[in-house]
Amino acid sequence: MTVRRVAVVGAGSSGLACIKICIDEGLEPVCFESSDDIGGLWRFKESPEPERSSIYRGLVVNTSKEMMCFSDFPTPADFPNYMHNSQLLQYFRLYAEHFNLLKHIHFQVISVSPSDFSETGQWEVVTINKNGDWVRHVFDAVLVCSGHYTHPVLPLSDFPGQLTNFSGRCFHSWEYKDADAYRGKRVVVVGIGNSGGDIAVEISRSTFLSSRKGAWVVGRMSTNGLPLDMTAITRFSYLLTLLLPKALINWAAERALNYKYDHRLYGLRPAHRLLDRSPLINDDLPGRVLLGGLVMKANLRGFVDSGVVFEDGTVEENIDAVVFCTGYRGTFPFLPPALSQGPYGELTLYKRLFPPSLQHPTLAIVGLFQTKGPIMPIAEMQARWAVKVFTGLSHLPCKETMLDITESERKRNMKRYKASRAALQVDYIPYLDFMAKEVGVRPNFLLLLLRDPVLWVKVVFGPCTPYQYRLTGPGQWAGARHAILTQWKRVAQPFKTRAVPEPETRASVLFNPWLLALGGSLIMTMLLSRNKISLLR
Ligand SMILES: Cc1cc2nc3c(=O)[nH]c(=O)nc-3n(C[C@H](O)[C@H](O)[C@H](O)COP(=O)(O)OP(=O)(O)OC[C@H]3O[C@@H](n4cnc5c(N)ncnc54)[C@H](O)[C@@H]3O)c2cc1C
Ligand SMILES: *[C@@H]1O[C@H](CO)[C@@H](O)[C@H](O)[C@H]1NC(C)=O
Ligand SMILES: *[C@@H]1O[C@H](CO)[C@@H](O)[C@H](O)[C@H]1NC(C)=O
């Protein structure tokens, strides 16, 4: 059975990447999108729509442009390093335009239900469009890219019976758009995830941020003001995490964080260690705590008439609104129920991609994972691997092996992350490298060192940007090397808005031996952190 026609469900960032990869591999993608536009989560809507993800007006990404772009399409150099949601959507539009993807998308297809003919591995896909027209299609494979931030989790039942008398408004962050309605209001924000942090900061006039666990808070801005992920996600630092004891890394990194602001003093300190969970990415939150507009509180216990009670017994009266930033659940009601066979009714997926129970590996779920890095490069690599498996160029182990591996990875994750959606966690570089090896695009470091030592240094010590997976092998991109060599230039570009005058120097000062020695040691320090030096050129 040769695979030719592939159905792609959803035209968010994952769906767009899937369409592009299918075309690259000579397949015929047909994408079904239930809304009337591309972009998925990143297309801001004034009011939330049921069963769809919904973001707030001010949302700015927490991953930087060079790290989160697709591997053969760098973000425009003049875009800011951390894009506003509208700019990220603009990037996806440029991508779709550049690779001519729109003509493969059918919009306003409100229902897609694939069911497999297990004999052949093909899929019958019934679609219904907004006019109610039913169409039956046959596809050789299906890529599901429908997103998983669609169903808000609102744990009101944790506060039984008491809500009825509460006079304020209670709602999920899914409904939150901006702070306009909360000017001069007293608001409690429940949950210290990325949304909780953002929303608390946006409202912060008299806002209470209630958190059971606390969080380690890191800024987008790393040393020298460079993007955090560009300095943190490098192959070299990954190697260090393998070599050094975890306790030592935790100790050193927590110390560095507390050096900026003491997490205990600020009421943020969690019981868990830094590496045990994803940290909260927020630049403004500690500043708001310092100014007193934002007040850290214990976990919410319940409601009283017009106020709320926290677990430490303290009460805040006259609360106008409570925003629950308590996360999301993804559901895949349109898939055959046999696929949702995990212990908690979730989808069991081999390597977070393939349902092991299918007789033929002709369906993959793209984008259903979490990681301490950007989503897009991983989703793109998932698509590249899935297509190789569909076309028989890469093979999966037998069903039992896949189930065993999936279960042991789930257990390891539960132990390591202890969070509710721990099973979804993947490690950024190892997971990308694993898939890249399957696809045949993992860089060969020894060969690279011998052939191109300059590039080798950038690849090993510099940020693990997606271009690394376009250097060799199938899908190789001629621009990949150049993209890596110029990545720090594109980081610097949006800052170049003012010509910075050179400091005035006098010749006599330059030849002062003490200053020469100082300069020499400065240069040594900079050489040791190589990735930053290219900015100075
Ligand atoms: C508040 C918030 C902030 C985030 N910030 C970042 C960040 O900074 N960096 C990062 O990398 N990630 C971030 N993420 C993760 C985010 O999920 C991904 O960036 C990305 O949007 C995933 O894209 P996707 O295409 O998989 O899903 P989505 O963007 O959700 O797209 C899914 C698409 O499928 C369509 N669809 C759904 N069901 C069907 C159906 N049955 N039939 C047809 N079409 C369907 C939807 O209409 C939608 O267009 C954030 C998530 C949230 C909630
Ligand atoms: C709600 O208010 C009513 C009337 O004031 C009161 O009788 C009842 O005990 C209150 N319920 C709770 C749970 O506080
Ligand atoms: C960015 O924010 C989203 C939404 O809260 C979160 O799921 C993701 O893990 C964050 N990314 C990083 C690198 O922390």
Q: Same domain for 404 and 347? A: yes
Residue 479: the pLDDT is 98
State residue 161's pLDDT score: 54
Same domain, 210 and 90: no
Q: Is residue 450 part of a domain?
A: yes
- According to the model, what pLDDT value does residue 530 have? 56
Q: How far is 44 from 84, CA to CA, in rounded Å?
A: 11
- Choose one of 375, 431, 465 to mutate for the ligand 1 pocket test, by most ligand atoms within 8 angstroms of C-beta: 375
More confident residue, 380 or 117: 380
Helical spans, DSSP H, in 37-84: 65-68
- For residue 510, pLDDT beyond 80: no
Count how many domains the chain has. 2
- Ligand 2: atom nearest CA of 165 is 1
- The reply to whether 135 and 205 lie within a common domain is no
**Could you tell me if 288 and 217 lie in one domain?**
yes
Task: Say whether pLDDT at 50 is over 80.
Answer: yes
| Element counts in the chain: helices (H) and strands (E) | 17, 22
Check whether residue 217 and residue 184 sit in a common domain.
yes
Q: Write down the pLDDT at residue 526.
A: 67
The mean per-residue pLDDT over the stretch 252-265 comes to 97
| For ligand 3, mutation pick of 54, 148, 278 (most atoms within 8 Å of CB) | 278
Query: What integer pLDDT is reported at residue 533 of this predicted model?
Result: 44
Q: Which of 477, 492, 507 marks a domain boundary?
A: 492
Q: Per the domain annotation, does 536 fall within a domain? A: no
Assess whether pLDDT exceeds 80 at residue 360: yes
CA neighbor of 302 nearest in space, from 420, 157, 204: 157
Residue 17 pLDDT class (50, 70, 90 cuts): very high
Look at residue 352 in the predicted model and tell me its pLDDT: 96
The residue among 225, 255, 78 whose CA lies nearest residue 532 is: 225
- Final residue belonging to a domain, choices 472, 492, 512: 492
pLDDT computed for residue 527 by the predictor: 65
Contact between 334 and 350 under an 8 Å Cβ cutoff? The reply is no
Indicate which CATH number applies to the domain containing 169: 3.50.50.60
Question: Considering every ligand atom, which ligand is closest to the CA of 51?
Answer: 1
Whole-number pLDDT of residue 455: 98
User: Ligand 3 center to residue 150 CA distance, Å?
Assistant: 15
CA 13 – ligand 1 centroid, Å: 7
Q: Provide the residue type at 100 as one letter.
A: N
- Candidates 163, 149, 153; CA nearest to 49 is 149
191/198 Cα distance (integer angstroms):
11
Residue 516 lies in a domain: no
Cα–Cα distance measured from residue 526 to residue 248, given in angstroms and rounded to the nearest whole number: 24
Percent pLDDT > 90 in the chain is 81
- Residue 444 in any domain: the answer is yes
The pTM of the full predicted model, rounded to 2 decimals, is 0.93
User: Quick one: DSSP state of residue 354?
Assistant: B
Q: Which atom of ligand 2 is nearest to the CA of 162?
A: 13
Q: What pLDDT, on a 0 to 100 scale, did the predictor assign at position 117?
A: 79
Which range is least confidently modeled, 151-155, 306-310, 532-536?
532-536
- Summarize pLDDT for 276-326 with one digit per residue, the tens: 999 999 999 999 999 999 999 999 999 988 899 999 999 999 999 999 999
Give long-range contacts, CB 8 A cutoff, 24+ apart: 454-457: 454/485, 455/481, 455/484, 455/485, 457/530
pLDDT of residue 535: 45
Kindly give the distance from the C-alpha atom of residue 157 to the centroid of ligand 2, in angstroms, as a whole number.
17
User: Residue 239 domain-assigned?
Assistant: yes
Is residue 116 a part of any domain in this protein?
yes
Lowest mean pLDDT among 74-83, 118-127, 249-258, 260-269: 118-127
Q: From CA 249, how far away is CA 255, in angstroms rounded?
A: 10
At 531 the pLDDT is 53
Of 393 and 111, the structure prediction assigns the larger pLDDT to 393
Q: Are residues 113 and 17 in the same domain?
A: yes
Q: Shortest CA distance to 218 belongs to which of 298, 297, 278? A: 278
Q: Count of residues for the chain?
A: 537
Are the C-beta atoms of residues 25 and 5 closer than 8 Å to each other? no
Query: What pLDDT, in 10s, does the model give residues 137-151?
Result: 999 999 999 999 999
The pick from 163, 165, 308 for probing ligand 2's pocket by mutation, whose C-beta has the most ligand atoms within 8 angstroms, reads 165
The DSSP H or E segment spanning 520 is: helix 513-528
Residue at 387 is within a domain: yes
Q: Which of 274, 308, 324 lies at the terminal end of a domain, its last residue?
A: 324
Task: Examine the pLDDT at 522 and tell me if it is beyond 80.
Answer: no
At residue 452, does pLDDT exceed 60? yes
Same domain as 110, residue 83: yes
Look at residue 18 and tell me whether its pLDDT is greater than 60: yes
210 strand-pairing partners:
190, 297
163 and 300 in contact (C-beta within 8 Å)?
no
Q: Are residues 139 and 161 in the same domain?
A: no
Q: Is 195 in the pocket of ligand 3 (CB under 6 A)?
A: yes
User: How large is the average pLDDT for residues 89-103?
Assistant: 98
Task: Please report whether residue 85 resides in a domain.
Answer: yes
The pLDDT assigned to 503 comes to: 87
For residue 449 the two structure tokens come to 């060192």
Check whether 537 has a pLDDT greater than 60. no
| 307-310: strand order across its sheet | 300-304, 307-310, 315-316
Q: Are residues 291 and 406 in the same domain?
A: no
Residues spanned by the domain of 168: 156-324
SS3 282: coil
Residue nearest to atom 14 of ligand 2 (CA): 162
Average pLDDT, the chain: 92
Which of 21, 37, 41 best tests ligand 1's pocket when mutated (most atoms within 8 Å of CB)? Answer: 41
330 neighbors 368 (Cβ within 8 angstroms): yes
Q: Are residues 225 and 161 in the same domain?
A: yes
**21 vs 37: CA distance, rounded Å:** 20
Residues 335 and 229 in one domain: no
376 and 294 within one domain: no
Which residues have a Cβ under 8 Å from the Cβ of 260 and sit 6 or more positions away?
219, 286
Q: Does the CB atom of residue 201 touch ligand 3 within 6 A?
A: no
For residue 302, give the ligand nearest its CA: 2
